[in-house]
Amino acid sequence: MKKPLTFLFLGRSGCGKGTQAELLQQALEERDGIGSVLYIYTGKKIRHLSEKDFYTSKITKEIMKSGKLLPAFMAIWAWSDELIKKITPDVHVIFDGSPRLLNEAKIMDEVCNFYKRKETTVPILIDISREEAERRLLTRGRLDDKKEAIEERLDFYNEHVQPTVDYYKNKGLITINGEQSIEKVFEDLKKTIGL
């Protein structure tokens, strides 16, 4: 197995970062063996939390139904909990959709330093336009994919996530055109990271 890498997938809602992250996981496992990748999907863990029956779950579900975004501490809890329980020194780590906010990115820097992965962290932006994101989200049909909620998430991206993307531009951000076929996006991704 080659030196384990940490991949941070960024991009607007609907850009396909989850699909590309899963394809990358499969490719790395084919190359380095099953169990060689720790895949952390913040949104899935938070959606799972919202289905439980305790106070935090109820608040989480209300916020998600309204289309509002959860506070940063929820995302940090979701990915750090997975990481703390499951990371080993020899696995690749794929973060699907984290970090979103600038303060979260700075905490991610601390995490990568702690696990001695600072030099092997690869931030990846799957780049699509706002119009393309809206079109895709309207056809996806998740509970939180209502028109008003979508508009809020896309506004949130411009205001709060874009500074995180800009932050990673100084840290080797890889930008992939997400407005291509899934296969072409993945082909570009593999070529760029040397897989």
Q: How far is CA 48 from CA 33, 44, 54, in A?
A: 28, 6, 12
pTM of the model as a whole: 0.88
Topology at the third CATH level for domain 6-193: Rossmann fold (3.40.50)
**Per-position b or e across 32-61, b if 16+ CB within 10 A of its CB:** beeebbbbbbbbebbbebbeeeeeeeeebb
Cα–Cα distance for residue pair 67/61, rounded to 1 Å = 10
Cα–Cα distance for residue pair 99/75, rounded to 1 Å = 8
Q: What is the pLDDT of residues 44-84, one digit of tens each?
A: 888 878 888 889 889 988 888 776 778 889 989 999 999 99
Cα–Cα distance for residue pair 16/13, rounded to 1 Å = 8
Q: Say what the pLDDT of residue 129 is.
A: 95
User: What tokens were used for 124?
Assistant: 């990846």
The mean pLDDT value of the chain amounts to 90
Residue type, 140: R
Mean pLDDT, each 10-residue run in order, the chain (195 residues): 88 93 96 93 82 89 79 90 94 93 94 93 96 89 71 88 94 96 97 92
